[in-house]
Protein backbone atom coordinates (compact mmCIF):
# COMPACT_ATOMS: atom_id res chain seq x y z
CA UNK A 1 0.00 0.00 0.00
CA UNK A 2 1.24 3.47 -0.83
CA UNK A 3 2.17 5.78 2.04
CA UNK A 4 3.16 9.43 2.20
CA UNK A 5 6.79 8.42 2.72
CA UNK A 6 6.80 6.06 -0.30
CA UNK A 7 5.39 8.75 -2.61
CA UNK A 8 7.23 11.81 -1.32
CA UNK A 9 10.30 10.87 -3.39
CA UNK A 10 8.32 11.78 -6.52
CA UNK A 11 8.01 15.59 -6.80
CA UNK A 12 4.67 15.29 -8.60
CA UNK A 13 3.04 13.37 -5.77
CA UNK A 14 4.79 15.26 -3.00
CA UNK A 15 3.16 18.42 -4.31
CA UNK A 16 -0.24 16.73 -4.70
CA UNK A 17 -0.12 15.31 -1.17
CA UNK A 18 0.88 18.70 0.21
CA UNK A 19 -1.99 20.38 -1.62
CA UNK A 20 -4.78 17.78 -1.37
CA UNK A 21 -3.66 15.16 1.16
CA UNK A 22 -3.26 11.39 0.74
CA UNK A 23 -7.00 10.74 0.85
CA UNK A 24 -7.44 12.65 -2.41
CA UNK A 25 -4.51 10.94 -4.10
CA UNK A 26 -5.54 7.28 -3.92
CA UNK A 27 -8.50 5.40 -5.38
CA UNK A 28 -10.81 4.55 -2.44
CA UNK A 29 -11.31 0.93 -3.57
CA UNK A 30 -7.96 -0.31 -4.85
CA UNK A 31 -5.69 2.14 -2.97
CA UNK A 32 -3.79 2.73 -6.21
CA UNK A 33 -3.23 6.24 -7.53
CA UNK A 34 -6.21 8.03 -9.07
CA UNK A 35 -6.23 8.32 -12.85
CA UNK A 36 -5.99 12.12 -13.02
CA UNK A 37 -2.90 12.21 -10.84
CA UNK A 38 -1.26 9.43 -12.87
CA UNK A 39 -1.94 11.40 -16.04
CA UNK A 40 -0.24 14.42 -14.47
CA UNK A 41 2.73 12.23 -13.51
CA UNK A 42 3.06 10.87 -17.06
CA UNK A 43 2.85 14.36 -18.53
CA UNK A 44 5.57 15.68 -16.24
CA UNK A 45 7.86 12.71 -17.01
CA UNK A 46 7.49 13.47 -20.72
CA UNK A 47 8.22 17.17 -20.20
CA UNK A 48 11.34 16.16 -18.24
CA UNK A 49 12.29 13.77 -21.08
CA UNK A 50 12.65 10.87 -18.62
CA UNK A 51 12.51 7.41 -20.17
CA UNK A 52 9.80 5.02 -18.92
CA UNK A 53 7.38 2.27 -19.97
CA UNK A 54 3.65 2.95 -19.85
CA UNK A 55 1.47 -0.12 -19.27
CA UNK A 56 -2.31 -0.28 -19.63
CA UNK A 57 -3.86 -3.33 -17.98
CA UNK A 58 -7.33 -4.74 -18.62
CA UNK A 59 -8.82 -7.42 -16.33
CA UNK A 60 -10.26 -9.99 -18.73
CA UNK A 61 -14.02 -10.62 -18.85
CA UNK A 62 -14.59 -8.63 -15.67
CA UNK A 63 -18.21 -7.88 -16.54
CA UNK A 64 -18.91 -11.60 -16.25
CA UNK A 65 -17.56 -11.55 -12.70
CA UNK A 66 -19.98 -8.80 -11.72
CA UNK A 67 -22.86 -10.46 -13.58
CA UNK A 68 -22.24 -13.93 -12.13
CA UNK A 69 -21.11 -13.13 -8.58
CA UNK A 70 -22.22 -9.58 -7.88
CA UNK A 71 -20.42 -6.28 -7.50
CA UNK A 72 -19.21 -7.05 -3.98
CA UNK A 73 -17.13 -9.95 -5.29
CA UNK A 74 -16.03 -7.80 -8.21
CA UNK A 75 -14.84 -5.07 -5.84
CA UNK A 76 -12.92 -7.58 -3.72
CA UNK A 77 -11.18 -8.93 -6.81
CA UNK A 78 -10.21 -5.44 -7.99
CA UNK A 79 -8.81 -4.69 -4.52
CA UNK A 80 -6.78 -7.92 -4.66
CA UNK A 81 -5.46 -7.16 -8.15
CA UNK A 82 -4.59 -3.59 -7.20
CA UNK A 83 -2.67 -4.78 -4.15
CA UNK A 84 -0.88 -7.46 -6.19
CA UNK A 85 0.13 -4.95 -8.85
CA UNK A 86 1.56 -2.55 -6.27
CA UNK A 87 3.50 -5.41 -4.72
CA UNK A 88 4.97 -6.77 -7.96
CA UNK A 89 5.86 -3.31 -9.31
CA UNK A 90 7.46 -2.31 -6.01
CA UNK A 91 10.15 0.37 -6.42
CA UNK A 92 10.23 -0.03 -10.21
CA UNK A 93 7.39 2.46 -10.66
CA UNK A 94 3.82 3.29 -9.71
CA UNK A 95 0.35 1.80 -10.20
CA UNK A 96 -2.87 3.71 -10.82
CA UNK A 97 -6.55 2.98 -11.40
CA UNK A 98 -7.19 3.82 -15.04
CA UNK A 99 -10.93 3.24 -14.80
CA UNK A 100 -13.41 0.42 -14.16
CA UNK A 101 -11.46 -2.80 -14.57
CA UNK A 102 -8.35 -1.13 -16.00
CA UNK A 103 -5.09 -0.17 -14.29
CA UNK A 104 -2.09 1.85 -15.44
CA UNK A 105 1.56 1.38 -14.54
CA UNK A 106 4.50 3.71 -15.06
CA UNK A 107 7.72 1.68 -14.99
CA UNK A 108 10.79 3.86 -14.46
CA UNK A 109 13.32 1.05 -14.08
CA UNK A 110 13.23 -1.25 -17.12
CA UNK A 111 14.66 0.38 -20.23
CA UNK A 112 14.98 -2.34 -22.89
CA UNK A 113 12.64 -4.75 -24.67
CA UNK A 114 14.29 -7.78 -23.09
CA UNK A 115 14.17 -6.38 -19.57
CA UNK A 116 10.51 -5.32 -19.75
CA UNK A 117 9.61 -8.67 -21.36
CA UNK A 118 11.24 -10.57 -18.50
CA UNK A 119 9.50 -8.34 -15.96
CA UNK A 120 6.05 -8.74 -17.53
CA UNK A 121 6.41 -12.52 -17.55
CA UNK A 122 6.39 -12.33 -13.77
CA UNK A 123 2.84 -10.95 -13.87
CA UNK A 124 1.74 -14.36 -15.19
CA UNK A 125 4.34 -16.97 -14.30
CA UNK A 126 5.78 -16.62 -10.81
CA UNK A 127 4.64 -17.45 -7.28
CA UNK A 128 3.55 -13.84 -6.75
CA UNK A 129 1.85 -13.56 -10.16
CA UNK A 130 -1.02 -11.13 -10.57
CA UNK A 131 -2.87 -13.12 -13.22
CA UNK A 132 -3.55 -16.76 -14.14
CA UNK A 133 -4.52 -17.49 -10.54
CA UNK A 134 -7.62 -17.97 -8.43
CA UNK A 135 -8.73 -15.08 -6.26
CA UNK A 136 -10.90 -15.93 -3.25
CA UNK A 137 -13.66 -13.45 -2.48
CA UNK A 138 -16.86 -13.82 -0.40
CA UNK A 139 -16.68 -17.62 -0.32
CA UNK A 140 -16.16 -17.97 -4.08
CA UNK A 141 -13.01 -18.56 -6.08
CA UNK A 142 -12.59 -16.75 -9.41
CA UNK A 143 -9.81 -17.49 -11.88
CA UNK A 144 -8.40 -14.14 -12.95
CA UNK A 145 -6.53 -13.24 -16.13
CA UNK A 146 -5.51 -9.93 -17.60
CA UNK A 147 -4.19 -8.34 -20.78
CA UNK A 148 -1.37 -5.78 -20.81
CA UNK A 149 -0.27 -3.37 -23.52
CA UNK A 150 2.88 -1.33 -23.08
CA UNK A 151 4.89 1.28 -24.97
CA UNK A 152 8.08 3.18 -24.20
CA UNK A 153 8.80 6.88 -24.01
CA UNK A 154 10.70 8.16 -25.95
CA UNK A 155 11.59 5.10 -28.05
CA UNK A 156 8.03 4.43 -29.26
CA UNK A 157 6.43 7.85 -28.89
CA UNK A 158 7.62 11.40 -28.29
CA UNK A 159 4.43 12.93 -26.88
CA UNK A 160 1.65 12.16 -24.42
CA UNK A 161 -1.15 11.33 -26.87
CA UNK A 162 0.98 9.13 -29.11
CA UNK A 163 2.33 7.17 -26.14
CA UNK A 164 -1.16 6.28 -24.91
CA UNK A 165 -2.28 5.49 -28.44
CA UNK A 166 0.56 3.01 -28.95
CA UNK A 167 0.07 1.40 -25.54
CA UNK A 168 -3.62 1.06 -26.50
CA UNK A 169 -2.62 -0.55 -29.81
CA UNK A 170 -0.56 -3.10 -27.93
CA UNK A 171 -3.43 -3.75 -25.50
CA UNK A 172 -5.98 -4.34 -28.24
CA UNK A 173 -3.53 -6.55 -30.10
CA UNK A 174 -3.36 -8.64 -26.95
CA UNK A 175 -7.14 -8.84 -26.84
CA UNK A 176 -7.30 -10.12 -30.42
CA UNK A 177 -4.76 -12.79 -29.51
CA UNK A 178 -7.25 -14.17 -27.00
CA UNK A 179 -6.39 -11.98 -24.00
CA UNK A 180 -4.45 -13.33 -20.98
CA UNK A 181 -1.14 -12.06 -22.37
CA UNK A 182 1.08 -9.01 -22.66
CA UNK A 183 2.13 -7.14 -25.80
CA UNK A 184 5.14 -4.82 -25.97
CA UNK A 185 4.73 -2.25 -28.72
CA UNK A 186 7.18 -2.75 -31.58
CA UNK A 187 6.97 -0.18 -34.37
CA UNK A 188 7.79 -2.58 -37.20
CA UNK A 189 5.10 -5.06 -36.07
CA UNK A 190 2.35 -2.79 -34.80
CA UNK A 191 2.55 0.54 -36.64
CA UNK A 192 -0.21 -0.35 -39.12
CA UNK A 193 -2.69 -1.60 -36.51
CA UNK A 194 -6.02 0.21 -36.66
CA UNK A 195 -7.65 0.00 -33.22
CA UNK A 196 -11.09 0.59 -34.73
CA UNK A 197 -10.68 -2.62 -36.74
CA UNK A 198 -9.49 -4.58 -33.71
CA UNK A 199 -12.47 -3.78 -31.50
CA UNK A 200 -14.89 -6.67 -31.84
CA UNK A 201 -18.49 -5.88 -32.52
CA UNK A 202 -20.98 -7.14 -29.91
CA UNK A 203 -21.54 -10.91 -30.15
CA UNK A 204 -25.26 -10.40 -30.85
CA UNK A 205 -24.41 -8.35 -33.95
CA UNK A 206 -22.09 -11.09 -35.18
CA UNK A 207 -24.73 -13.78 -34.66
CA UNK A 208 -27.37 -11.68 -36.40
CA UNK A 209 -25.12 -11.18 -39.44
CA UNK A 210 -24.55 -14.96 -39.65
CA UNK A 211 -28.32 -15.50 -39.57
CA UNK A 212 -28.65 -13.02 -42.41
CA UNK A 213 -25.99 -14.82 -44.46
CA UNK A 214 -27.66 -18.21 -44.03
CA UNK A 215 -31.00 -16.69 -45.07
CA UNK A 216 -29.54 -15.71 -48.45
CA UNK A 217 -30.75 -17.55 -51.52
CA UNK A 218 -27.54 -19.41 -52.40
CA UNK A 219 -26.13 -22.91 -52.09
CA UNK A 220 -24.48 -24.16 -48.91
CA UNK A 221 -20.90 -23.88 -50.18
CA UNK A 222 -21.40 -20.22 -51.06
CA UNK A 223 -22.99 -19.56 -47.67
CA UNK A 224 -20.05 -21.21 -45.92
CA UNK A 225 -17.53 -19.21 -47.91
CA UNK A 226 -19.32 -15.96 -47.09
CA UNK A 227 -19.84 -16.87 -43.41
CA UNK A 228 -16.25 -18.00 -42.88
CA UNK A 229 -14.87 -14.87 -44.53
CA UNK A 230 -17.04 -12.72 -42.27
CA UNK A 231 -16.09 -14.60 -39.07
CA UNK A 232 -12.38 -14.54 -39.87
CA UNK A 233 -12.44 -10.82 -40.56
CA UNK A 234 -14.42 -9.88 -37.48
CA UNK A 235 -12.78 -12.17 -34.92
CA UNK A 236 -9.24 -12.42 -36.30
CA UNK A 237 -9.56 -16.24 -36.16
CA UNK A 238 -7.13 -17.34 -38.85
CA UNK A 239 -8.58 -20.72 -39.91
CA UNK A 240 -12.01 -22.34 -40.04
CA UNK A 241 -12.26 -26.02 -40.94
CA UNK A 242 -15.17 -28.31 -41.76
CA UNK A 243 -14.59 -32.07 -41.62
CA UNK A 244 -17.18 -34.41 -43.10
CA UNK A 245 -18.49 -37.54 -41.35
CA UNK A 246 -15.45 -39.45 -42.66
CA UNK A 247 -13.16 -36.91 -40.95
CA UNK A 248 -11.93 -35.54 -44.30
CA UNK A 249 -11.47 -31.80 -44.73
CA UNK A 250 -14.24 -30.80 -47.13
CA UNK A 251 -12.11 -28.52 -49.30
CA UNK A 252 -9.25 -31.05 -49.50
CA UNK A 253 -10.32 -34.70 -49.35
CA UNK A 254 -6.69 -35.81 -49.28
CA UNK A 255 -6.43 -34.56 -45.70
CA UNK A 256 -8.04 -37.02 -43.28
CA UNK A 257 -7.85 -36.78 -39.51
CA UNK A 258 -8.84 -40.17 -38.06
CA UNK A 259 -11.32 -40.35 -35.20
CA UNK A 260 -11.63 -36.61 -34.76
CA UNK A 261 -14.55 -37.27 -32.42
CA UNK A 262 -12.01 -38.45 -29.86
CA UNK A 263 -10.79 -34.86 -29.59
CA UNK A 264 -14.12 -34.06 -27.90
CA UNK A 265 -15.30 -35.23 -24.50
CA UNK A 266 -18.34 -37.46 -24.84
CA UNK A 267 -20.26 -35.41 -22.25
CA UNK A 268 -20.23 -32.18 -24.26
CA UNK A 269 -20.19 -31.35 -27.95
CA UNK A 270 -17.11 -29.15 -28.08
CA UNK A 271 -13.47 -29.11 -26.99
CA UNK A 272 -11.13 -26.23 -26.19
CA UNK A 273 -7.38 -26.47 -26.82
CA UNK A 274 -5.52 -23.27 -25.99
CA UNK A 275 -2.32 -24.88 -27.28
CA UNK A 276 -2.06 -27.55 -29.95
CA UNK A 277 0.32 -29.49 -27.72
CA UNK A 278 -2.76 -30.56 -25.75
CA UNK A 279 -4.13 -32.43 -28.79
CA UNK A 280 -3.16 -36.09 -29.10
CA UNK A 281 -4.07 -36.62 -32.74
CA UNK A 282 -1.50 -39.12 -33.98
CA UNK A 283 0.48 -39.12 -37.22
CA UNK A 284 -2.44 -38.12 -39.43
CA UNK A 285 -3.04 -35.02 -37.34
CA UNK A 286 0.67 -34.19 -37.41
CA UNK A 287 0.47 -34.33 -41.20
CA UNK A 288 -2.52 -32.02 -41.11
CA UNK A 289 -0.53 -29.53 -38.99
CA UNK A 290 2.29 -29.46 -41.52
CA UNK A 291 -0.20 -28.11 -44.07
CA UNK A 292 -2.21 -26.01 -41.61
CA UNK A 293 0.24 -24.92 -38.87
CA UNK A 294 -2.28 -23.85 -36.27
CA UNK A 295 -1.24 -23.27 -32.67
CA UNK A 296 -4.60 -23.80 -30.94
CA UNK A 297 -7.95 -25.41 -31.69
CA UNK A 298 -11.63 -25.03 -30.84
CA UNK A 299 -13.78 -27.87 -32.17
CA UNK A 300 -17.40 -29.08 -32.11
CA UNK A 301 -19.57 -31.74 -33.69
CA UNK A 302 -21.89 -30.61 -36.50
CA UNK A 303 -24.99 -32.08 -34.98
CA UNK A 304 -28.77 -31.69 -35.25
CA UNK A 305 -31.57 -33.85 -33.87
CA UNK A 306 -29.06 -36.45 -32.74
CA UNK A 307 -27.41 -36.87 -36.13
CA UNK A 308 -23.72 -36.00 -36.51
CA UNK A 309 -22.75 -34.67 -39.95
CA UNK A 310 -19.09 -33.98 -39.24
CA UNK A 311 -17.03 -31.47 -37.26
CA UNK A 312 -16.44 -27.72 -37.31
CA UNK A 313 -13.24 -26.21 -35.95
CA UNK A 314 -11.66 -22.82 -35.36
CA UNK A 315 -7.88 -22.81 -35.56
CA UNK A 316 -5.46 -19.99 -34.97
CA UNK A 317 -1.84 -19.49 -35.89
CA UNK A 318 -1.37 -17.32 -32.80
CA UNK A 319 0.54 -19.19 -30.11
CA UNK A 320 -1.59 -20.25 -27.16
CA UNK A 321 -4.66 -18.20 -27.86
CA UNK A 322 -6.93 -18.30 -24.81
CA UNK A 323 -10.33 -19.11 -26.29
CA UNK A 324 -13.06 -16.97 -24.75
CA UNK A 325 -16.70 -17.80 -23.97
CA UNK A 326 -17.81 -15.65 -26.91
CA UNK A 327 -15.56 -17.70 -29.23
CA UNK A 328 -17.22 -20.91 -28.02
CA UNK A 329 -20.69 -19.36 -28.40
CA UNK A 330 -19.85 -18.30 -31.96
CA UNK A 331 -18.53 -21.77 -32.85
CA UNK A 332 -21.65 -23.50 -31.52
CA UNK A 333 -23.99 -21.03 -33.23
CA UNK A 334 -22.23 -21.41 -36.57
CA UNK A 335 -22.23 -25.19 -36.14
CA UNK A 336 -25.99 -25.24 -35.60
CA UNK A 337 -26.63 -23.09 -38.68
CA UNK A 338 -24.58 -25.53 -40.78
CA UNK A 339 -26.24 -28.57 -39.20
CA UNK A 340 -29.75 -27.25 -39.90
CA UNK A 341 -28.82 -26.59 -43.53
CA UNK A 342 -27.51 -30.17 -43.88
CA UNK A 343 -30.62 -31.54 -42.17
CA UNK A 344 -32.86 -29.68 -44.61
CA UNK A 345 -30.81 -30.93 -47.56
CA UNK A 346 -31.27 -34.49 -46.27
CA UNK A 347 -35.01 -34.00 -46.24
Question: pLDDT tens-digit profile of 46-85?
Answer: 999 999 999 999 998 888 888 888 899 999 999 999 999 9
Q: Residue 336 pLDDT more than 90? A: yes
Lowest mean pLDDT among 18-27, 111-120, 198-207, 304-313: 198-207
Residue 174 shares a structural domain with residue 214? no
pLDDT-derived band at 318, boundaries 50, 70, 90? low
- Segment 245-261 shows an average pLDDT of 73
Residue 219 shares a structural domain with residue 131? no
Residue 176 shares a structural domain with residue 207? no
The CATH number of whichever domain residue 226 belongs to comes to 3.30.450.40
Strands (E), the chain: 52-59, 93-99, 102-107, 133-137, 140-144, 146-153, 182-184, 239-244, 248-249, 252-256, 270-273, 296-304, 307-316
Residue 28 shares a structural domain with residue 143? yes
Residue 224 shares a structural domain with residue 283? yes
Residue 250 shares a structural domain with residue 190? no
Residue 80 shares a structural domain with residue 139? yes
Question: Are 184 and 55 a contacting pair, CB within 8 Å?
Answer: no
* pLDDT at residue 103, as a whole number: 96
pLDDT-derived band at 186, boundaries 50, 70, 90? very high
What is the number of domains present in the chain?
A: 2
* pLDDT at residue 166, as a whole number: 93
Residue 170 shares a structural domain with residue 129? yes
Lowest mean pLDDT among 59-73, 270-284, 290-304: 270-284
Residue 207 shares a structural domain with residue 193? no
Residue 189 shares a structural domain with residue 207? no
Residue 188 shares a structural domain with residue 257? no
pLDDT > 90 in the chain, percent: 45
Give the domain extent around 307: 203-346
The CATH number of whichever domain residue 133 belongs to comes to 3.30.70.270
Please tell me the distance from the alpha carbon of residue 33 to that of residue 207, in angstroms, as a whole number: 40
Residue 190 shares a structural domain with residue 235? no
Q: Which range, 19-23, 126-130, 144-148, 247-251, is most confident? A: 144-148
Q: Which residues pair with residue 55 across a beta bridge?
A: 105, 150
- Answer positive or negative: Cα dihedral of 340, 341, 343, 347: positive
Q: Residue 42 pLDDT more than 90? A: yes
Please tell me the distance from the alpha carbon of residue 6 to that of residue 3, in angstroms, as a whole number: 5
Please tell me the distance from the alpha carbon of residue 3 to that of residue 279, in angstroms, as a whole number: 50
Amino acid sequence: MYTKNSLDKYPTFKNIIKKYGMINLLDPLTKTILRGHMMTFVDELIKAKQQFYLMIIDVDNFKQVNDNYGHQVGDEILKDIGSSLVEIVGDYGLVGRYGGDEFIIVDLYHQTYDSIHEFLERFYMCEESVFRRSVHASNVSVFVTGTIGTANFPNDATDYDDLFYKADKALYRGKTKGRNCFIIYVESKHKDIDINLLIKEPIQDTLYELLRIFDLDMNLNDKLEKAFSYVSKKTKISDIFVFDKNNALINDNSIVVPEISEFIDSDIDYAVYNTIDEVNGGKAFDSFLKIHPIACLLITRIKFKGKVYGHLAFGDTIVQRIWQNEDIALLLFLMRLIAVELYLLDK
